[in-house]
Amino acid sequence: MRNSTDVKQEVLILTDGQSNCVGNVTSAALKLQEKADVFGLMIGINTQSGMNELTNYVSYPKNKHLFAIEGFQALEALVNEIEKQVKNVPCVAFDV
């Protein structure tokens, strides 16, 4: 993350909805939410338990930060659409 106070910090969690992390992921997600807006994108499996878990990780309002798509083909289509949209947005110079 950039340390600039004038830059909005955003994080995207990509998951298949099947948690395989050790440790307290919810606690880590809450700490992350203190520093950034956290979004979640569930790809593929879309179980209710997976959606419930991911709901705990994302920022409020939950319905604006949580998304699901059917699979990797849908992800590829989404990335392609974002690439098309970005071509119409001018770059802004910044220091790293």
Give pLDDT, residue 9: 85
- What's the rounded Cα separation, in Å, for the pair 64 and 43? 17
C-alpha dihedral sign at 23, 40, 1, 59: negative
What is the average pLDDT across 2-26? 79
Give pLDDT, residue 94: 58
DSSP assignment letter at 89: S
- What's the rounded Cα separation, in Å, for the pair 9 and 93? 17
- What's the rounded Cα separation, in Å, for the pair 79 and 74? 9
pLDDT digits (tens, 9 = 90+) for 54-94: 888 899 998 889 888 888 888 888 888 888 887 777 766 65
- Mean pLDDT, the chain, rounded, equals 82
> Domain 10-86, what architecture?
3-Layer(aba) Sandwich (3.40)
